[in-house]
Structure 1
Amino acid sequence: MLQETKISENLSIVKPKKKKREDKVAETEMKKLENVLFGSLYPVEFGKNIEEEEDALFITDRSANSALSVYEEDAAIVATEDLAPRTPVWVDEEEAKTNINISKVNRLRKIRKEEDEKIISGSEYVSRLRAHHMKLNPSTDWARPDSHVYNSDDSDGDFDGILQTTEDLVVPGSSKLLPGLLEYSRLVDANGQDPSSGPINSVQFHRNGQLLLTGGLDKKLRFFQIDGKRNTKIQSIFVDDCPIRKASFTPDGSQVILSGRRKFFYSFDLVKAKMDKIGPLVGREEKSLETFEISPDSKTIAFIGNEGYILLVSSKTKELIGTLKMNGTARALTFGNDGQELVATGGDGQIYHFDMRSMSCFHKGVDEGCLTGTALGMSPKGNIFAAGSDSGIVNVYNKEEFLGGNRKPMKRIENLTTKVDFIKFNCDAQILAICSSMKKNSMKLVHVPSFTVFSNWPPANKALQFPRCLDFSPGGGMMALGNAAGHVLLYKLNHYRHA
């Protein structure tokens, strides 16, 4: 009752009349006492100079929103004489002079108060923009210091452990790559610090995802540290008697095998930084060992020999440990089942499956529509493989169905028109890269789950030139492409988080 009485007395003097100075001072002291005991209804309006009006003892807050406007005619705040006047730190004088036509711009019509309103002042324009911003961006309870959003009694509300781990707080909803458009970014060339003077024939990432090797016809084996920004060159090795046709890390990352159109090949030990020349192989008369594949267990190197022979060499002793034979000429190889199987294709258009334990062929099947097989690629899990031919057609097979007698491919890809030279699956087999070195920009990236080609690849303006080789980083985040101009183009695949 006492508070209501005091407030009613306060409201009854909103419009003060002319009184004597003594009465005004006494009345002011009374209101000061009321404010100390019960608090004022509204805060003092900042930036208002009390001395502007000679007899103004009260200031009405006009900045309140519509919800509080019912009190504007009934309440006032007593301004004390000892309150120091406050002025804005900075005032833009042009705001009052500037007029804004809010009817010409569509997005400004939403701040009109009347339908036919057109011109408003600059200060009014700023005020309405602020009010509109507050309307679109209301304050959130969890951001307030005095807020308690979470219930401590809730059994599911254990948030103390969030900051006690280094795990990601935001986890991607799905790792599924969508078809249509491939999100990628062009980075600095992988060999930008030392481009090759000849065509690039081999490019491969080390299993750590940071080291990249390049090899080409300029007889140089180069190593680069890939970061996407500088791609620093680490080392360059000149092999004076062997233009490099292929160079590859062993899967365990301990050495590099490189070869050319020679009777011998080289092995480079990464730990000892030592290059060894091996060959010719005892008992063999091959004049070229330019094509080979290394088994996933790093134990065996399979070279393509003469007249359909496949030469098996131990990666440890570098000695010939066995041979496999095809009916036609051998053109392409790939390993499967963790190195226990070898798949080969060649001049007779058939696909051979060899058992590495018994050194024998356990299955042979015709590659549909293929006269001469030129390329092979196996998915990391070994459940599907792709075979390319000299006509530019790539057939993708389910391995179990193919071995079971079903020779019908899962998909027949006909996007290339010249001989397929290279086939490569990425780390999770969602992308299949196929390329031909006989035509500019002749490279396609296939979305494997849907077997559709990404429509925005290759880039426009023949940026790839004549592609010759490609490799995906172990985590899938980067893709390196070597071309005949001696450049290794580097791309970041935005769907994958790690290199």
Structure 2
Amino acid sequence: MIKNKRKAAIVLKKNNEERKDDEQNANKSDSDSESEESLMERLFGKKMKQSVVSTASSEVIDSDNEETSETPVKTVQEQTPPTVDEDEEDCVWHDEDDDVERKKVAEMKFAEFSGAWLNVKPVAEDEENFSGKIFSKRRGVLPQGEIDIEEVGTLVIGGLGGLPISGFDFHPHAPAAMLTQADTLAMFKIDGRENPLLQAIRLDNFHIKCARIISRNECLATSHVQWFYSHDLESGAITRTPFIKGRDRKHRVEQFYTSYESKYLAFTSRDGPIHIVSKKNKEVVGVLQSATEQNVDVKMSKDGNRMWTLSECGQVMTFDLRKMEPVHSFQDMAGCTSLGVNDQETIFSIGSTSGLINLYDETCMTKEYPDCLKTLKNLRAPVTFQKFNSTGELGIFGSELLPDQARLLHCHSQSVIRNFPGQRKLDTISQGGFSPKSGFMAIGNRRMQLFKLNHYPNY
């Protein structure tokens, strides 16, 4: 940090010396003896200070342990670029070149704070980005029976490995993943080899209950309180929203659901109603009532136009978010615990406390009494976790109550993959999912186990 400041000061001195005549150069020794802060103030008439990019700086991030290493991967804890005080004094002189130079210095400082995350670029369709490992070149339908899969590491925040993971998401455009534990949010680079930590922030006195990547550069984190935080993954800004506009301020903001392409967030409540909130301005745009009981799971369609809710009694309701009204419902078995819907909306899966999973096709959105395609009986614990990959070929089911309770479903044949988990020891599963192009899968509870699916060549 000190080296960068000296570099900026030297550049400013050179610019200053080019504009002074011979008489001013004779007094060069006097200016050299000035402190950097005095020099900046004399040249620009402005005082530089550190400020926190947040609406409640006293509540955000602990900066006691600031990293000084020059390695590109750093843990960021409430470190933000310097900003200029609003009470500006009159400048001695002004030049556009100085503005450009100061902007470069600020960008350089922020690059240090953000670490390697800024260097993570989007992955092209045909680009192989997995640390030189060999991937299958074949394309086409995923073969049934067995899958070519290997474990390529674990993701965990240092010092928090024994605490439950409250949120996990693969970034939809860059080979990176978000993970939250306790009061910390971290970003990891996904390369299938070292999977290094890119950055981490700590939200002081804010135990994260739920966290998701809701857009290209925004991550949203909620707790057991009325306020929540938004983290800009590109700029590093952290914004505190004190409450949801249009909702009773006494209501706590805990669990929420969304899809990446949707423009809405769905916040559930203990007494039944679901508040549909705009992603852009965090304001309620509609309130939907799914059932008389509390919802145990909610899913949104990939385009964000439809939403499905599941209650414990087995009622599945479909909502049209363009009209903000229910359009269909059907009844499954009682004791339901989780709901799964693939991106193509061709497979609907409903898990239960007994470990059974009922599979339906798209006719369940139109028929009052749809026929169950198949019932899977491979788990011996309540099915609390369900995810499908982007192609709709593969699904993962698991339980957060017992370890080693996870199965991969080959969707086209409606059969379970035989060699997973195999001899692998698995944690209980509360979080996980597939990367955008299905090259990786992650599952876990207190640590994320990362797997590479060799059938899919891209991240």
Question: What does residue 322 of structure 2 align with?
Answer: 357
Equivalent in 155, 172, 178 of residue 207 of structure 1:
172
Alignment partner of 2:155: what SS?
Answer: coil
For 1:289 and 1:470, the matched residues in 2 are separated by 22
For 1:214 and 1:413, the matched residues in 2 are separated by 30
For 1:407 and 1:288, the matched residues in 2 are separated by 36
Displaced runs of 4+ in structure 1, greater than 6 A?
A: none
Question: What does residue 230 of structure 1 align with?
Answer: 194
Superposition map of 1:23-172 within 5 A: none
Alignment partner of 1:467: what SS?
Answer: coil
Question: What does residue 113 of structure 1 align with?
Answer: none
For 1:210 and 1:303, the matched residues in 2 are separated by 28
Alignment partner of 1:339: what SS?
Answer: coil
Deviation at 1:476, TM superposition (A): 0.6
Deviation at 1:340, TM superposition (A): 0.9
1:229–1:386: structure 2 CA closer, same or farther, 3 Å change rule? same
Deviation at 1:401, TM superposition (A): 4.5
For 1:498 and 1:171, the matched residues in 2 are separated by 10
1:440–1:286: structure 2 CA closer, same or farther, 3 Å change rule? farther
1:242 aligns with 2:213: no
Question: What does residue 399 of structure 1 align with?
Answer: 362
Deviation at 1:174, TM superposition (A): 4.3
For 1:419 and 1:431, the matched residues in 2 are separated by 20
- One-letter code of the match for 1:324? L
For 2:438 and 2:228, the matched residues in 1 are separated by 30
Deviation at 1:450, TM superposition (A): 1.1
For 2:204 and 2:377, the matched residues in 1 are separated by 40
Alignment partner of 1:480: what SS?
Answer: strand
What are the superposed Cα offsets for residues 441-498 of structure 1, whole Å, 9 maximum, x if unpaired?
111111111111112212425x2122221111111111112223xx221111111111
- 2:166–2:209 CA contact under 8 A, matched in 1: yes
**TM-score, with structure 2 as normaliser:** 0.66
1:414 aligns with 2:401: no
Equivalent in 448, 451, 459 of residue 488 of structure 1:
448
What are the superposed Cα offsets for residues 318-360 of structure 1, whole Å, 9 maximum, x if unpaired?
1122110022211211112611111001133100001101111
Equivalent in 270, 281, 285 of residue 306 of structure 1:
270
- 1:384–1:397 CA contact under 8 A, matched in 2: yes
1:262–1:460: structure 2 CA closer, same or farther, 3 Å change rule? farther
- One-letter code of the match for 2:282? K
Superposition map of 1:460-471 within 5 A: 460=423, 463-471=425-433
Alignment partner of 2:345: what SS?
Answer: coil
- 2:330–2:367 CA contact under 8 A, matched in 1: no
Alignment partner of 2:265: what SS?
Answer: strand
1:378 aligns with 2:341: yes
For 2:387 and 2:252, the matched residues in 1 are separated by 24
Question: What does residue 388 of structure 1 align with?
Answer: 351
What are the superposed Cα offsets for residues 128-179 of structure 1, whole Å, 9 maximum, x if unpaired?
xxxxxxxxxxxxxxxxxxxxxxxxxxxxxxxxxxxxxx999x9955421112
Deviation at 1:374, TM superposition (A): 2.3
Gaps of 5+ in 1: 1-165
For 2:249 and 2:309, the matched residues in 1 are separated by 21
Question: What does residue 7 of structure 1 align with?
Answer: none
- One-letter code of the match for 1:400? T
1:280 aligns with 2:280: no
- One-letter code of the match for 1:204? D
1:289–1:417: structure 2 CA closer, same or farther, 3 Å change rule? farther
For 2:229 and 2:411, the matched residues in 1 are separated by 36
Alignment partner of 2:307: what SS?
Answer: strand
Deviation at 1:298, TM superposition (A): 3.6
Question: What does residue 47 of structure 2 align with?
Answer: none
What are the superposed Cα offsets for residues 108-129 of structure 1, whole Å, 9 maximum, x if unpaired?
xxxxxxxxxxxxxxxxxxxxxx
Question: What does residue 233 of structure 2 align with?
Answer: 270
1:312–1:279: structure 2 CA closer, same or farther, 3 Å change rule? farther
Question: What does residue 83 of structure 2 align with?
Answer: none
- One-letter code of the match for 1:259? T
- One-letter code of the match for 1:184? I
What are the superposed Cα offsets for residues 266-313 of structure 1, whole Å, 9 maximum, x if unpaired?
211223312222243344266543321114434110011132111111
Equivalent in 456, 478, 488 of residue 419 of structure 2:
456
1:270–1:173: structure 2 CA closer, same or farther, 3 Å change rule? closer
1:185–1:286: structure 2 CA closer, same or farther, 3 Å change rule? farther
1:472 aligns with 2:434: yes
Deviation at 1:317, TM superposition (A): 0.5
Deviation at 1:402, TM superposition (A): 4.0
**TM-score, with structure 1 as normaliser:** 0.61
- Identity value in percent: 28
Question: What does residue 21 of structure 1 align with?
Answer: none
Deviation at 1:406, TM superposition (A): 4.3
Question: What does residue 154 of structure 1 align with?
Answer: none
Highest CA radius of gyration, 1 or 2? 1
RMSD: 2.4
Q: Which has the higher contact order (CA 8 A, sep 6+)?
A: 2
